[in-house]
Amino acid sequence: MLELYHHGSSVCAAKVRFVLAEKDLQWHGHYVDILKGDQFDPAYMKLNPKAVVPTLVHDGHVIVESTVIAEYLDETFPEPPLKPAAPLGRAHMRVWTKAVDELMHPACAEITFASCHRHIINRLPPHEHARFLASTPPISVTTSWHERKKEIVKLGFGAPGIAAKFRLYDSYLQKMDDALRHHAWLAGDRLSLADIGFAPYVNRLDMLGMSAMWTRSRPRLTDWFERIKARPGFGPSFIHVCPPDLTSDLATFGRQSWPEVERIFAGD
Ligand SMILES: N[C@@H](CCC(=O)N[C@@H](CS)C(=O)NCC(=O)O)C(=O)O
């Protein structure tokens, strides 16, 4: 049995849901509301000591780290394969998935909190707000997330370094557009874990109403995302699983944040 601990707006959880959907695997979900602090429940932290989602439990075996989970699922359930057949292709694919883990994800966490999630956290009653911000373990989304989350919840776009995260994100949108000049998908002619790894990060901007970051000037990326959205697993993995109030918060707060984003790129 496959059990997934996940959350509606978690990019890392969306990656795993998308793999499960592409492989047509049945799974049982446990919803962990990371905006209310469910991830800090000691029972959950026994499964995932970083207090993050997702966590996969397969026949009682616990597997953490979304990129590791994605590869585990691909090896355990090989059809259809989501890795290029040749070692060189797999190396190219892993350069993309490594960039997701090392660069895109930390940038996405900051962008999402500065644009939207800080407003949701700031709606918590004072005692829950304080407990929520105190609970992040020392090693979590990043090794500085405990302090950084507090800072971004307080200062939003005023937190130092937010503009750099948007620029980094933007530079990867350009790398994707460039790569798609040579083949239909990021690591070759077939959808792979590289595309599945990046799809949640492009979708995050889309749900924040920030798709102009690629639709205005990156036609290959625009086409790629249309093809991602056309896959049968996209709706169930990315959209339907996100509670309507959270979808609405992402759209509303994202729209309010857009002028700040435009200011960042106008300063280039
Ligand atoms: N490297 C981890 C990162 C997981 C992660 O950062 N998850 C986020 C949601 S996408 C989370 O659970 N955040 C909890 C928090 O901010 O307290 C993975 O790929 O699984």
What is the residue-wise DSSP string for 210-254? -THHHHTT-HHHHHHHHHHHTSTTHIIIIITTS-HHHHHHHHHHH
Residues 71 and 91 occupy one common structural domain: no
> Which among 76, 97, 118 is the end of a domain?
76
The domain in which residue 102 lies consists of 87-266
Nearest ligand 1 atom, CA 32: 12
133 CA distance to ligand 1 centroid (A)?
15
Residues 199 and 155 occupy one common structural domain: yes
User: What gap in Å lies between CA 164 and CA 148, rounded to an integer?
Assistant: 14
> Which among 49, 76, 103 is the end of a domain?
76
141 CA distance to ligand 1 centroid (A)?
5
Give this prediction's pTM: 0.97
257 CA distance to ligand 1 centroid (A)?
22
Exposed/middle/buried for residue 130 (C-beta within 10 Å: 0-12, 13-18, 19+): exposed
Name the CA dihedral angle for 119, 123, 125, 131, rounded to a multiple of 10 degrees: -20
Per-residue pLDDT of the chain (268 residues; tens, 9 = 90+): 999 999 999 999 999 999 999 999 999 999 999 999 999 999 999 999 999 999 999 999 999 999 999 999 999 999 999 999 999 999 999 999 999 999 999 999 999 999 999 999 999 999 999 999 999 999 999 999 999 999 999 999 999 999 999 999 999 999 999 999 999 999 999 999 999 999 999 999 999 999 999 999 999 999 999 999 999 999 999 999 999 999 999 999 999 999 999 999 997 5
> Which residue CA neighbors atom 18 of ligand 1 most closely?
65
- Cβ–Cβ contacts within 10 Å for residue 180, how many? 19
Give the chain's domain count.
2
CATH number at residue 31: 3.40.30.10
- 191: CB partners within 8 A, 6+ apart: 22, 82, 185, 231
Residues 50 and 113 occupy one common structural domain: no
Supply 119's token pair: 């407003």
CATH number at residue 146: 1.20.1050.10
In a domain, 140, yes or no: yes
Residues 96 and 26 occupy one common structural domain: no
In a domain, 81, yes or no: no
Q: Tell which residue, 12, 62, 56, 66, has the closest CA to residue 30.
A: 56
Residues 245 and 113 occupy one common structural domain: yes
User: What gap in Å lies between CA 22 and CA 146, rounded to an integer?
Assistant: 34
Nearest ligand 1 atom, CA 40: 17
In a domain, 38, yes or no: yes
> Which residue CA neighbors atom 1 of ligand 1 most closely?
65
**For residue 43, what pLDDT is reported?**
98
**For residue 267, what pLDDT is reported?**
73
In a domain, 262, yes or no: yes
User: What gap in Å lies between CA 17 and CA 25, rounded to an integer?
Assistant: 10
Provide, for the chain, the percentages of residues in helix, strand and coil under a 3-state DSSP scheme, each rounded to the nearest 5: 60, 5, 30
In a domain, 245, yes or no: yes
**For residue 268, what pLDDT is reported?**
58
> Which residue CA neighbors atom 2 of ligand 1 most closely?
65
> Which among 76, 97, 115 is the end of a domain?
76
Residues 67 and 91 occupy one common structural domain: no
> Which residue CA neighbors atom 14 of ligand 1 most closely?
52
> Which residue CA neighbors atom 8 of ligand 1 most closely?
52
Residues 148 and 250 occupy one common structural domain: yes
> Which residue CA neighbors atom 12 of ligand 1 most closely?
52
In a domain, 169, yes or no: yes
Residues 21 and 141 occupy one common structural domain: no
To test the pocket of ligand 1, the residue of 12, 41, 66 to mutate (highest count of ligand atoms within 8 Å of its CB) is 12
156 CA distance to ligand 1 centroid (A)?
19
To test the pocket of ligand 1, the residue of 11, 69, 118, 141 to mutate (highest count of ligand atoms within 8 Å of its CB) is 141
Residues 101 and 44 occupy one common structural domain: no
52 CA distance to ligand 1 centroid (A)?
4
In a domain, 226, yes or no: yes
Residues within 6 Å of ligand 1 by CB: 10-12, 34, 39, 51-54, 65-67, 101, 105, 136, 140-141
User: What gap in Å lies between CA 198 and CA 95, rounded to an integer?
Assistant: 12
Residues 71 and 98 occupy one common structural domain: no
Residues 182 and 259 occupy one common structural domain: yes
265 CA distance to ligand 1 centroid (A)?
27
138 CA distance to ligand 1 centroid (A)?
13
In a domain, 212, yes or no: yes
Residues 139 and 49 occupy one common structural domain: no
